Structure 1
Amino acid sequence: MAGQWIDIAAKDGGTFKAYLTIPASGSGPGILLLQEIFGVNKSMREVADYYAEEGYVVLAPDLFWRLEPGIELGYSEADFNKAFGYYQRFDANQSIKDADDALKVLRARPECKGKVGALGFCLGGKLAYLVAARADVDCAVSYYGVGIEADLVEAGNVKGPMVFHFAELDRFAPAEAREQIKGAFKGRSDVEFYLYPGCDHAFAAPERASFNKPATLMAHSRSIALFRKVLGPHYDLSALWDRHTELEFGVRSAEQTMTTMVAEPYVNHIPTMTGGVGYRDLLRFYKNHFIPKTPKDTKLVPISRTIGADRIVDEMLFCFTHDIEIDWMLPGVAPTGKYVEIPLIAIVRFRGDKLYNEHIFWDQASVLVQIGLLDPKKLPVAGIETAKKLVDESLASNTLMSRWSESAGK
């Protein structure tokens, strides 16, 4: 995504800048992005671009403009000191009026279709709460908002759904403050609170030492779940995934498969660590080592499919005859001619209407047993029995446990 700066007219006079980015589709619901204390810097603009890739028209107003227009700070100690200096002079109440002016501009944009939400980090996390209480947004997401507890008298004015993300170790939003905020929304089933154990303030900022990727991924999924539910857009993830697999296993075209994915996707087959990160490597993988190195009789037997806001979890049987060297599953292993059936799980994440990544899991030991490279008599592993039991739960359990009989009658 490539954004642009636009001018916003303040209701009380003057103009200020705001960073606007639009999804590839050309339109979508809106998100008002509220900055950290470091200004609408490169990091904030990347967040805006990220959400544009998810299908939103995103506007990030420069809310420090009354102090100094165009502030863009990094995360060095010197920049931290500057940022706190601006924060101490910052008028939060005036900023909500500016944010409301930006919100009106966002809603009036021809690209903005339907509803609008608010999203904020740190200082912006508090501003997202205040915007939800004082302005016309349909939902809001707050990341580790600082000082919200000082304005809880306004909690009753928040009409739409909200999600609050907090870090367990955050001294700027300590446990006492978090409990006060939760208490103010007691009884509100549409207001969600999530605590990230072992994480500190700014856990979702990749440039910061406190960055925690697993927590960031989880928080983003929860945020997208709210935005999808309230704002849309609503994508048929099941159909998108089916089309992707058809191009892989039916059409067998690497180039067409890549058209279903974001500009820089990745695939990771967990047991063998095969796949690719980025367009070039993934195309190389699909074209040379996956599509032509998958047996022609490969069959996918669906068992279950769980569809979330931003991902699909597909449970299936993966069936094939080992009549070719399978680079991605059995690299370096000559064809054995053996027939194999294994349970396989695909966790597929989307950004907007494109696949972003795939995490593929299977039991490699079961594959090795079935092609004769691993002796199940010497290790607690099983062959095709794992696939059979997946579809027939009445088959015997605990056959690998020699001590199972000892618990009979206990």
Structure 2
Amino acid sequence: MEFSYSDKVLNLQTKLHQFMEEFIYPNEQVYKEQLKSQANRWSRIPPILEELKERAKERGLWNLFLPNSDVGGGLTNLEYAPLCEIMGRSSIAPEVFNCSAPDTGNMEVLERYGSPAQKEEWLQPLLEGKIRSCFSMTEPDAASSDATNIGTSIKKEGNEYVINGRKWWSSGAGDPRCQIAIVMGKSNPTARKHEQQSMILVPLNTEGVKVERLLPVFGYDDAPHGHAEITYDNVRVPEANMIWGEGKGFAIAQGRLGPGRIHHCMRLIGLAERSLEQLCKRIQERETFGKKLAEQGVIQEWVANSRIEIEQSRLLTLKAAYMMDTVGNKDAKAEIAMIKVVAPNMALQVIDRAIQAFGAAGVSDDFHLAAGWANARTLRLADGPDEVHRRQIAKLEMRKYKQKVELS
């Protein structure tokens, strides 16, 4: 694979870095203050966010995530990787560029599998940033790391589907702009194991849809985005809301989660880079026992290990992205699984060292470290826990040698 970036990517990198320095970093605190000043943190979006989104549109930094498409950035996964990394340096940046989860995954689903009518009604306003969406897959009553366990029912009645079930961790459902959910459920329990599930579009204002509560993550509620527990009680939607067709839910999930997983990894590398930068600045400002922290051997080891681990993660991310572009997501599944294990654990290590260097300040909300650690720790579970990915990696690895034994 080619390690140098094209002129197009270098130009976009420059524009993104400039935008981050000029608009994102100076307004992170503005965003926090506007959010805190609101009587109801779930009912209104901090105005600065919409202002920044308009500036991003003006500069052509919009929808860069969508590959091989005339409705998105048209970048390959490999081209998008270094750009997504830059966005990952700030918690507010991905949405500013309309490149934030779960909307990116939902837009990819609609772009690849949606009908023309579904694209017109839901994809277009998502691409324009006029609405937001959520993804209802995980369930409190099932081990959802195995999607075949999902119990929410999707039953055909006449020209409608009736949905019943309970979901949680439907990220984004707390947002007042969230209008549509992609719901995964079981439509044909007697079909083959991986053809029982379907995905269907459910407007959140449909009768029978109820957001029960918004779940905190290590004490962070992530308002106004949020992570919702939702009940679907005899929810009726038109048959035209079915995505692709009955029994295609598992296949869609695999198509959706591949890019989603690697996007998380790209952003985590950016988060780790910023954390290492803050660590390096902090240790040169602080002195203990007559020495700068930067002169302490153990601290120097933290810096060295952090740099090594970030570079290793970046290289594996780029390899996975390259393979997704050249051989497809299916043949890149081992690399996607590997980086999904590596990147969150790497980010946790780097952020933890930075917290340790900051001392008590590191666990406060004065810096991004505590929230960044909570986010990275969560990503050891989101889109499949480490153990599931390791299991897949092991099976794929052992399969190579089984084939060799059979041939010998």
Q: Bin the TM-score by the shorter chain.
A: under 0.3
- Structure with bigger strand share is 1
TM-score with structure 1 length normalisation?
A: 0.24
TM-score with structure 2 length normalisation?
A: 0.24
Higher-RCO chain (CA-CA 8 Å, sequence separation at least 6) = 2
Q: Which has the larger Rg?
A: 1
- Structure with bigger helix share is 2
